[in-house]
């Protein structure tokens, strides 16, 4: 009996030992599983990126050399195009990998330089090479213009491309290929910088190609490009006369997006949204400078503003997605674009969830380099989710608070990667989105940007950092911001069109001001000067200066039936000068 009791007590004690050891063991297992996943997924991701680059990518057959295909998906949705933005962000990742040792990528980078030089010369619906055409968002994979209806212009592409190529040009200079940098790469960069200096203060479509206003992402990308572009110009003995002068103006304007404790990603537009948008987190990781302090003005990853914004944006998805149900504060969630999203019913995106992790990995690097962490009133709510009793103050690297924060933020960062892992198929293929309730991959398959975002986030995790772009010498906000002036032209549309009672004439066209070809939202023309001998309809519309556009007139009757005038589309172009006027005199055909 006693022997049995002793035996039973020993068994209980042994069981208690196992239970006590379980959490650390489980953590070790989870850590090992995550490390194994990252190793495997990194290989899948670089292969996935390369497969989507022409001409020899396994899923990019038919694309020209150096062209990044957004996705091999050709229907529901059709992403068989090359976007200037996606391509630049992808090549930024590839160029950084090249700089850090993967020399197999150089021929693809050289192909990219050549392809972009050609694209810069393609006249398109946004304009010609010298009249706004660099703001065209996407092209066919054979380097011809896409002429269908789209949200254009998008002004982030040139700045992003300049940044990617500045990285490459600097490497070339440092490795004895100065002439290649000056003769092949700089001409592409110079055109992008010229576009950026001319158009940074104009409205345009945002990162998601939906909102036409002032975009934080575009402005932050522009600021970085102008700063590093000016430095490269000096190195090469080239001119970028307006780069240095424009950069502080852009930085000043960027401060306007900070409202109520987060970044309102789109302003100067009534879009009905809160503005809590992951594009602000993507901005922070794009403009991350490993040599920077935790600068609020440039929204560095470790800055109080960027951390507060990280919480505001990620929290906005905690209760709206079924996959996030029951996940408490301080634990990672699946992240989408913005809470009001309706595209494919509005789901988490792989690249958005990766971005949330990457910002925190970058912040960890900055804190460790600086040797301290400062918790302010602005950032304290972010830290309290992880360490509830944390107080405001500055904590040195030897303090228990510093060590606790670093440990907690590292676990939090990894948790975002683990969320992506949970919804990644066994073969590692990354679509654009995963279903908000089931986690099933959705939308475009093998999205290049999804793969690139995984590489970028996990490289930051491994301590592989991007290069400095000179943030430390370009983070002072001018005491007085110059307002972004409007630069529009007044275009008067005159058309002689005979109508019957109940019919009215409207104009539609390829730019937002002309309703993006939507007959339901056509701009009405006035018939107050109409006579049987002179059936004149007229309207004066403000369209941004230096903009090329196409248009047509339509008739609507009392029943709402629409009659289009015959092909081809008409074309117009506003003057370069602000507040200029233009007259278009047409006859219905």
Give CA–CA dist 224/165, Å, rounded: 13
Residue carrying the six token digits 């911001």: 481
Nearest residue to 253 via CA among 239, 268, 238: 268
CA 342 vs CA 9, 322, 337, 568: distances in Å:
60, 15, 10, 34
Catalogue the active-site residues.
206, 209
Please, are residues 81 and 141 in contact by the beta-carbon 8 Å criterion? yes
The bridge status of strand 570-573 relative to strand 562-564 is: unpaired
Place of tokens 């993006």: 516
Query: 3-state DSSP: the chain helix, strand, coil percent, rounded to 5?
Result: 45, 15, 40
- 514: tokens are 């002309």
- Which residues lie below 8 Å from residue 242, measured CB to CB, with a gap of 6+? 197
H or E segment and range at residue 90:
helix 84-99
CA distance 286 to 266: 17
Nearest by Cα to 519 from 552, 492, 541: 552
Is the omega angle on the peptide bond into residue 117 within 30 degrees of 0, that is, cis?
no
> Which residues lie below 8 Å from residue 56, measured CB to CB, with a gap of 6+?
none
Three-state SS for 22?
helix
Record the tokens describing residue 309, joined without a space: 């914004």
247: its two tokens = 């950069």
446 dihedral zone (left: phi>0; alpha: psi -120 to 50; beta)? left
Which residues, other chains included, contact 424 with Cβ-Cβ below 8 Å and sequence gap of 6+? 37, 41, 350, 430
Q: Which residues, at least 6 apart from 333, have a Cβ–Cβ distance to it below 8 Å?
A: 314, 317, 318, 321, 324, 327, 419
Burial of residue 478, with CB atoms counted within 10 A of its CB: 0-12 exposed, 13-18 middle, 19 or more buried:
exposed
Give backbone dihedrals phi and psi of 496, rounded to 5 degrees, phi first.
Answer: -90, 115
How many beta carbons lie within 10 A of that of residue 548, not counting itself?
21
Looking at 408-561, which runs of residues are DSSP E strands?
433-434, 441-442, 488-496, 504-509, 523-524, 536-544, 548-556
- What gap in Å lies between CA 357 and CA 432, rounded to an integer? 17
Q: What is the DSSP string of 471-485?
A: GGGS-PPPSSPPP--
Report the alpha-carbon angle 285-201-244, nearest 5.
70
For strand 488-496 and strand 581-587, is the pairing parallel, antiparallel, or unpaired? parallel
In degrees and rounded to multiples of 5, residue 335 shows phi and psi of -115, 135
The helix/strand/coil state of 514 is helix
Instruction: Report whether 80 belongs to an annotated binding site.
Output: no
Binding-site entries: 150
Binding-site entries for substrate: 150
């Amino acid at each position: 009996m006693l022997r049995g009791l002793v035996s039973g007590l020993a068994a209980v004690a042994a069981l208690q030992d196992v239970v006590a050891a379980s959490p650390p063991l489980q953590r070790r297992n989870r850590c090992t599983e995550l490390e194994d996943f990252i190793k495997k997924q990194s290989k899948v991701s670089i292969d996935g990126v390369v497969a989507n680059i022409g001409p020899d990518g396994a899923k990019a057959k038919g694309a020209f050399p150096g062209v990044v295909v957004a996705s091999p998906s050709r229907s529901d949705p059709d992403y068989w195009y090359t976007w200037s933005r996606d391509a630049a962000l992808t090549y930024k990742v590839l160029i950084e990998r090249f700089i850090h040792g993967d020399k197999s990528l150089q021929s693809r980078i050289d192909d990219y330089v050549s392809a972009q030089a050609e694209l810069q010369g393609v006249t398109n619906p946004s304009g010609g090479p010298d009249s706004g055409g660099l703001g065209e968002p996407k092209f066919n994979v054979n380097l011809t213009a896409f002429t269908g209806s789209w949200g254009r212009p998008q002004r982030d592409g040139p700045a992003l491309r300049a940044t990617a190529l500045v990285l490459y040009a600097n490497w070339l200079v440092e490795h004895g290929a100065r002439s290649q940098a000056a003769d092949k790469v700089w001409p592409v960069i110079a055109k992008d910088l010229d576009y950026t200096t001319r158009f940074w203060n104009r409205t345009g479509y945002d990162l998601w190609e939906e909102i036409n206003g002032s975009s934080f992402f575009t402005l932050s990308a522009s600021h970085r490009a102008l700063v590093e572009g000016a430095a490269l110009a000096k190195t090469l003995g080239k001119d970028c006369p307006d780069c240095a002068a424009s950069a502080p103006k852009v930085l000043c304007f960027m401060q306007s997006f900070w409202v109520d404790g987060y970044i309102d990603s789109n302003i100067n537009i009534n879009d009905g949204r809160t503005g809590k948008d992951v594009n602000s987190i993507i901005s922070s990781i794009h403009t991350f400078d490993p040599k920077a302090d935790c600068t609020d003005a440039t929204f560095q990853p470790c800055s109080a503003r960027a951390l507060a914004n990280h919480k505001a944006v990620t929290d906005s998805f905690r209760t709206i997605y079924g996959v996030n149900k029951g996940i408490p504060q301080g634990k990672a969630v699946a992240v989408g674009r913005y809470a009001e999203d309706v595209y494919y019913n509005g789901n988490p995106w792989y690249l958005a969830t990766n971005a949330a992790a990457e910002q925190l990995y970058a912040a960890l690097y900055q804190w460790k380099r600086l040797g301290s962490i400062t918790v302010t009133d602005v950032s304290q709510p972010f830290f309290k989710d992880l360490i509830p009793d944390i107080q405001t103050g500055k904590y040195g690297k030897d303090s228990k608070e510093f060590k606790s924060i670093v440990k907690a933020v590292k676990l939090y960062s990894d948790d975002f990667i683990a969320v992506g892992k949970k919804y990644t198929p066994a073969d590692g293929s990354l679509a654009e989105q995963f279903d908000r309730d089931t986690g099933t991959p959705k939308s475009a398959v093998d999205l290049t940007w999804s793969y690139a975002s995984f590489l970028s986030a996990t490289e930051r995790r491994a301590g592989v950092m991007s290069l400095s772009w000179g943030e430390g010498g370009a983070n002072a906000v001018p005491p007085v911001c110059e307002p972004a002036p409007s630069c529009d032209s007044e275009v008067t549309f005159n058309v002689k069109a005979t109508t019957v009672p109940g019919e009215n004439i409207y104009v539609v066209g390829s730019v937002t001001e002309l309703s993006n070809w939507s007959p339901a939202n056509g701009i009405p023309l006035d018939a107050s000067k109409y006579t049987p001998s002179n059936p004149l309809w007229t309207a004066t519309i403000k369209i941004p200066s230096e903009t090329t556009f196409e248009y047509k007139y339509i008739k609507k009757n009392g029943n709402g039936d629409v009659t289009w005038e015959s092909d081809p589309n008409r074309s117009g172009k506003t003057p370069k000068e602000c507040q200029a006027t233009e007259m278009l005199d047409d006859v219905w055909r």
